[in-house]
Amino acid sequence: MPVKASVPQPVSNMPWKEPCRRRPRKAAYNTFNANHLGYLNGRPLPAAPARPMTASVLDHRLPLFTLGLNHASAPLAVRERVAFAAEHLQHALGELTRRQPAKEAAILSTCNRTELYCVDGQPRQALEWLSDYHRLSARELHDHVYALAADESVRHAFRVASGLDSMVLGEPQILGQMKDAVRSAEAAGTLGSTLHKLFQRSFAVAKEVRSNTEIGANVVSMAAAAVKLAMRIFPGFSDQRVLFIGAGDMIELCATHFCAQHPRAVAFANRTPERADHLAQRFEGEALPLARLPEFLHQYDIVVSSTASSLPIIGKGIMERTIRARRHRPVFMVDLAVPRDIEPEVAALDDVFLYTVDDLAELVREGVDARQSAVEQAEAIIEMQVGSFMHWMAARDNVPLIKALRETAEDTRKAEVERAVKLLARGDDPHAVLEALSHGLTNKLLHGPTQALNRGEEDDSLRQLVTRLFHLDRR
C-alpha cells in the first residue's frame, strides 16, 4: 500500500485570524507507463495519455532515463523519506552505479523532488536501489514515482531547469540545485559525457527561457509566502521576534523578506557558528548556538527552519515546554526542510501555527495564470531544444561505427602505401606504382558493397542505401 500523506493542518484557536487552509491535493499522477510518459504539474506532458504500468517498461534497459518523485506525485511525508543529504550524495552515487549498474548517474534531491538521472540502466533496478537505500519497500514508492525515457527524460530535465516543474513556477533556485547535483556526480566520478551534455544543455535552455520569456516575472517565492502567512497571524512585525534556524540560501532569502518588515529582533541559530555570525551581522541580529535551542526558543514569536538535518530538531516535547514558557502566546512556525526539522505532531498543539513547504504551495500558485503565455513560449523553446539534443544522441550512437569504418579504411590505406613504397624502392616505374596504388585502394574499399550487391538478393533498401551513400543518383 502506498504511504499516506500525513501533512499537518494548521491549528487555529485564535478568533482574530484564521490561517490559510489547504485545498485537497491533486491526485498523484500515474507512474511507469508503456510509453515512459509522465505527468508534470498535475497535467500530462504533450504526448499520449498515460497507460497502466507494465513490467516491460521497468525491465527494459534504457540508454537514458529519469526515475523519481516530486511535489506533484508524492506528499511531503513520502518525499522526506527518500531525500539525500548533500554530504551523502557521492557515496550514494557510487553505490548506485555499482548496483544498477548504470554507466552514468546523477541525483537531484531538493525539498520538492528526488530524481535519479541514469545512462544505460533499468528503471526497476533504480527503483529497488532507491527503496533499499532508504530502507523502504519498492511497493511504498511504487504509486508515487515516475519513469521517463529518451526524449521525455530530456524534456523533463529542461523543464526542471527552467522552473516549469517547480512548486513555485519560474523560481530560479532549482538551477543552482541542479548545478550542485552535477558537481556531486562529477566528484563521485559518475558524470559521463551523456549526462554532462544533458545538464549543460539544460542550463543553456534555462538561460534562454529566462532571457526570452517572462516566466520569472512576479514570482512569489516560498520566503514571500511565509511572510504573507505570518501576517495573517500577526498584523505587523514591530513587536515580534524572529528566529531563523539554519544558514543556507533559503534562510538567507527568508531573512531578507522578514527583515524588510522591520521585526523587533532577529536571531540565527546554526551548527556552524561562522555562518550564523555572518547572517547576524548582515541583518543586524544575534547569532545563537543551535545546541542551546530549547533554552531560548520560547523568546521568539516566529520561527523559520531550514537545515540539512536528517532528523527533526524541534520535537513536540520541546514545543510543549516552549508554549508553557510563553504563557500560551501564539507562535508561527515555518518548516522549509525536507526531511522536516519540526515534528508533525507539533501542529496539533494549541497556539502553534505550523506550516510546511506543501502548505505554502497555495500562495505561491498565485499569478500563474497571468504568466500562461510565458509558459507557452518556454514550452516551445524546450520542444525545439529537445529535438536538437535527441539528434545529438542519435549521432553519438553512431560514433563507434564511424570510428570502426575509418580505422578499417586507414588500415587499408597504410597497407597499400607500404606496398607502393617497396615497389618504388625496388626501382619500379613511379607512374605504374601510383596506378597500382589507386586501383588497390579502390578495389579494397569497394569490395564490401560490391560483394553485397553481387549476392543477387533483391533488396531495394540495400540498393537505395548504396545509391545514397555514394551519391550515385547525381551521376
The angle at the Cα of 103, spanning 100 to 108, to the nearest 5 degrees, equals: 75
Q: Are 358 and 7 in contact (CB under 8 A)?
A: yes
Q: Are 108 and 37 in contact (CB under 8 A)?
A: no
As a whole number of angstroms, the distance between CA 275 and CA 309 comes to 16
C-alpha cell at 81: 523519506
At residue 145, the 3 state secondary structure works out as coil
Rg (alpha carbons) of the chain, rounded to whole number:
30
Alpha-carbon torsion angle 303, 309, 310, 313, nearest 10: -40
Q: Which strands form 146-149's sheet, in the order they lie side by side? A: 104-109, 113-121, 62-70, 146-149
Is 111 considered catalytic here?
yes
C-alpha cell at 29: 499522477
The DSSP bridge partners found for residue 108 are: 115
Query: Which is catalytic among the residues 20, 111, 254, 259?
Result: 111
Amino acid occupying residue 105: A
Q: What one-character DSSP code corresponds to residue 61? A: -
Q: Which H, E and C letters describe 163-219, residue by residue?
A: CCCCCCCCCCHHHHHHHHHHHHHHHHCCCCHHHHHHHHHHHHHHHHHHHHCCCCCCC
Task: Spell out a b/e string for 437-450, using b for 16 or more CB atoms within 10 Å of the CB, else e.
Answer: beebbeebeeeeee
Give the residue numbers marked as catalytic. 111
